[in-house]
Amino acid sequence: MYKGAWVSLVIPAYNEERLIGATLAGVPSLVDRIFVIDDCSTDQTPIIVQEMAKKDNRIKLIQHATNQGPGGGIITGYLASARERYDIAAVVGGDNQMGFEYLPELLDPIIAGEADYTKGNRFLKGRPKEMPFKRLFGNFTLSWMTKIASGYWRIFDTQDGYTAISRRAIEAINWTEFWRGYGYVSDFLIRFNTYRIRIKDIYRKEIYLPGEKQSQIKIGRYIRLVGPMIIRGFFWRLKQKYFQSPPKNLHRIGKMELKR
């Protein structure tokens, strides 16, 4: 528990046998439940998670019957967290690339009623010095496209997957409409706008482990895949929000009410 809020952690995992153990070992005590969503890994990922669950009863392994992509894993984790009535669900990758020291800063604005969704931004204190140029170029390109498509002009580093969301936001959203593969981060933001989800960027430092190839994404292919989806999302948002149906609204004002 953290400041009266029950907190879950969602970890989508696909072939993360090298780093999932270190990720789980670093989860702080403020997290009450850990949902690891195995997306049909072909390596030892689920076995490692099951072994670690014997030592840490917070860990719950959920295995997909078919591969859905990282967005699908996160949605599965969100819905599991809401069913078990955790107040906030945070998300980290299974590659030990997101420092848990920033987790309280992601949680605080939600608990204080200042945001429904918080996300990491590695650019708030300047250009991340360790980020490779290709990844930097891809991030800038997709961040600007997503800012325009989503209407969230004050956010950046839209591809960062270190996030937290309130249970009431999870329960208000129709997740069947959301993109489940790579690029989900942009699609989530675009669709969040139609629900008037309040978003806040939180600084977090990038982590690159020596000798580890943590990201499985090829930047050029990623942009070719995600770019058209973002463009379609822009026109979908305009149609949905202004021409087709009235905007959904969470009507969240003031401090978050903790129900557990």
Average pLDDT over residues 123-133: 78
Rounded CA-CA distance 219/129 in Å is 18
**201: which residues sit within 8 A by CB, 6+ positions away?**
118, 119, 120, 121, 124, 154, 155, 156, 157
Average pLDDT over residues 51-80: 97
Q: What is the side-by-side strand order in the sheet with 7-13?
A: 59-63, 33-38, 7-13, 88-91, 163-166, 117-121, 199-203
Average pLDDT over residues 94-120: 96
Residue 126 has pLDDT above 90, yes or no: no
> pLDDT: is 214 or 8 the higher one?
8
Residue 90 has pLDDT above 70, yes or no: yes
Handedness of CA 152, 156, 157, 162 (dihedral sign): negative
Q: What is the pLDDT of residues 50-65, one digit of tens each?
A: 999 999 999 999 999 9
Nearest CA to 112 out of 124, 102, 120, 104 is that of 104
- Model pTM? 0.91
Residue type, 31: V
The pair of three-digit structure tokens given for residue 48, joined into one six-digit string:
């490692």
Rounded CA-CA distance 260/194 in Å is 28
Average pLDDT over residues 11-18: 96
Instruction: Annotate 87-146 with DSSP letters as a single string.
Output: SEEEE--TTS-S-GGGHHHHHHHHHTTS-SEEEEETTBTBS-TTS-HHHHHHHHHHHHHH
Q: What is the pLDDT of residues 206-222, one digit of tens each?
A: 876 655 554 556 677 77
pLDDT level of residue 162 (50, 70, 90 thresholds): very high
Q: What is the pLDDT of residues 196-255, one digit of tens each?
A: 999 999 999 887 665 555 455 667 777 888 889 999 999 999 998 888 766 666 665 456
> What is the architecture of the domain spanning 7-244?
Alpha-Beta Complex (3.90)
